[in-house]
Each structure stands twice: as C-alpha cells, then as structure tokens.
Structure 1
C-alpha cells in the first residue's frame, strides 16, 4: 500500500477484548471522533477522501438502483478512509449516506441494500487514496437508518492482515459517524 505504514499506533484500550473495543469505538463514532474511533482498534487514519453529489442512480447497482429509480434520493455523501496499524496491516473503509424525503424511503432502501448480492451504493473508488485494484466484497458490511438517511459502511483489507472480526467491527461502528 502506498503511504506511510511505519510507526506504532497508540493502544487506547490495552488488554481489552474486541467486544470492549467495539463498544468504546461506537461511543467515539457517535461523537464524530474519527481518530479516537480508529484508535480503539489500534489503528490510525492514513488517508481520507470524500465526495458529495446527488446522482444516486449513477452511483448504485442492481436492485438498489431499481429502488432508487422509484424512490428519489435527495443527497449522496460518500467517504473513504485508509487506516493502518503502523506495521504494514491496513484496511480501507467506505461510508455512504443516502438522504431521502421520507424515513420510510430510507428504511425501504436499507432492506434492499442489506441483502448480499442485491446491489449497492457504489463506494468511492479506492484509487482516490492511491489504492488501485481494491474491490469491496460486501462481506464486512453494516447499514442503518438515521432519520431520513440510510448509512452504509464496508471494509476490506488492503495490505498485510486485518482480521475479519476487526473489519466487521469497523463497519459496525462506522455507520454511527454523524454526517461527515
């Protein structure tokens, strides 16, 4: 992975289980504290990219796209983060927030989105962070409805080894970030 993966990451919760780290990270995420959230998993933010646009159809696939063709979205905000542990292990994290006129539209879209293989809100291209060739599998995924918005988070390993439990936990807590 391009970029600096050297240097240790301070462990904000030494000796704590992944479950405890996840609980603390969720609290940090709800407060919008990205750096603190990632540090709960012994990771630091290496890079970030963001994009705000309104063309949900262009940035969706499959049954999610079909849903969006029938239920107009009002906004699309996508963020992409590279995080690493300073020892050559790194992951990429995508967060997409899709706004709707009504909460019921967001709930309906989430029901379609959460089915593996039903389509997707396309994550920002990892190439924006210099990570060509990274594809999101949908295996480390979480979604939730936040008012009139649906939030989707996906993670993948991009270098070294990041265990699947940590990838899942990163997705689980990242959907709690307020509008970035």
Structure 2
C-alpha cells in the first residue's frame, strides 16, 4: 500500500491528498483540528455490503462489547425510521441511534464561519454569492456492538434569509454539484472511510440548510439502513 501523503492549506490545517476518481459519486476527505468526544448509547447488527475503514476495529474498541440492545424489537425499518425521526427532532442522539439497533461510539464537532473553504464546485459558487452566517459540522461513529459500524455527517449552514437556505438546498441536492464538506472520518480514527454521497438527505430549517450523509465504517451495513440514518439524522436540531 502506498504511503499516505499530506498537504497544508493556507490557514495551516493539514489534510490527506486523495487521487481524484472518475464517475458519479462525490468523494470527500476533509481535515481539521478538532476535539473528539467518546459517547455512549444503546443498541445489535444489520447486514449488507461491506466497506471496511483502515484500523476501524482499533479506532472503535467499544464496538465489540456485544452490549447493544434493540429498542424496537421486531419492528420494520420503516417503523424504525419514523421513531428515529421523532427522537432526532427532540435532539436525543442515543435514542435515535438505538432505533436502528446501534449505539454512538464517538463524536467530533466544529463551529466556523468559512463556508467557501469547506465547500466544493457549484455549492461553493452559490456560497460565494450568498454568504453564510455560520457553519456547524458534526460527525458520529455508531456501531452494533459486533464490529459493524457507520459514520454519519451532519452539517448545518446558516444564512441571513430562508430563501438563501432554500436556494442552497436546490443546488446541493443535485448529484455532482458539489457539497458542504463533511468533517473527515479520520478525526475519529477512521482513516480509510470516505463519504460517497449516495446516502444523503437535506432539509431547510428556518434560515439554515441541514445536510446529512452516512457511510459504512466497518463490517456490513445495508444501503437501506444507511439511507435511513441520513434521513433521520438530518432532523437533529442545532447540536
């Protein structure tokens, strides 16, 4: 395996250099200094396509405890998503993830104002014309206690007008139009995990646009569950 190379931005932050890949999916790796907080939760496993991050077992040691209970035993994914949305709207992260038989393992967060530095392509062009007033990005690692894990990004972009948030969402929703960069999964020790943009949801909340993405971090999680995690996580209030 080739040795990972790094570069430094003008603001002094260091980020890994990743070769561009052709094709439809959006791929991002964002680097920034940020405090990582280890969290807990409740929740057991969901099967599907594998996407194993480098060193995920070592980075998420709490995901092998086998201590995750199912808060909605026997319920369908549709029902889990409906209950998860309610929990997310109340800001109950642990409860939200437990709806999917998962627990929170780690979290990272950053508040900043430079949306241009942290956006790409047409989304960046829009933000150059409609300046944001705030940018809050959160990253969660969740797992089933048996080695299967996902990483979830939630980004909230504030504007001076609701119409500006709505305009940004219209651009953001188009595949290949760019994105608000998620915090890099490497902040949680998951160096090999990248967001593909396939498991994505957005909404407008007052004068803010909220974007959520989910990706497998280790083991197996099916595509429908990753979609559902993005669908409910976008409803978290400002964290």
Into which bin does the TM-score normalised by the smaller protein fall? over 0.9
Structure 1 residue aligned with 2:97: 38
Structure 2 residue aligned with 1:21: 80
For residues 60 and 18 of structure 1, the distance between their equivalents in structure 2, rounded to whole angstroms, comes to 32
The TM-score, its normalising length taken from structure 2, stands at 0.75
For residues 76 and 3 of structure 1, the distance between their equivalents in structure 2, rounded to whole angstroms, comes to 27
Task: Work out which of the two has the higher radius of gyration on C-alpha atoms and give 1 or 2.
Answer: 2
Structure 2 residue aligned with 1:152: 211
Q: Deviations over 1:52-106 (max 9, x none)?
A: 0000000000000000000010000000000000111000000000000000000
For residues 14 and 169 of structure 1, the distance between their equivalents in structure 2, rounded to whole angstroms, comes to 17
Structure 1 residue aligned with 2:190: 131
Q: CA deviation at 1:3?
A: 1.9
Of 151, 165, 169 in structure 2, the residue corresponding to residue 110 of structure 1 is: 169
Structure 1 residue aligned with 2:137: 78
Q: Does 2:126 match 1:67?
A: yes
Q: CA deviation at 1:8?
A: 2.8
Unaligned runs of 5+ in 2: 1-55
The structure in which a higher percent of residues are strand is: 1
The structure in which a higher percent of residues are helix is: 1
Q: Does 2:111 match 1:52?
A: yes
For residues 184 and 67 of structure 2, the distance between their equivalents in structure 1, rounded to whole angstroms, comes to 27
Q: Count how many residue pairs are aligned between Structure 1 and Structure 2.
A: 180
Q: CA deviation at 1:134?
A: 1.2
Q: CA deviation at 1:178?
A: 0.4
Unaligned runs of 5+ in 1: none
Structure 1 residue aligned with 2:12: none
3-state DSSP of counterpart to 1:60: coil
Q: Deviations over 1:86-135 (max 9, x none)?
A: 11100000000000000000000000001111000000011110010211
The TM-score, its normalising length taken from structure 1, stands at 0.99
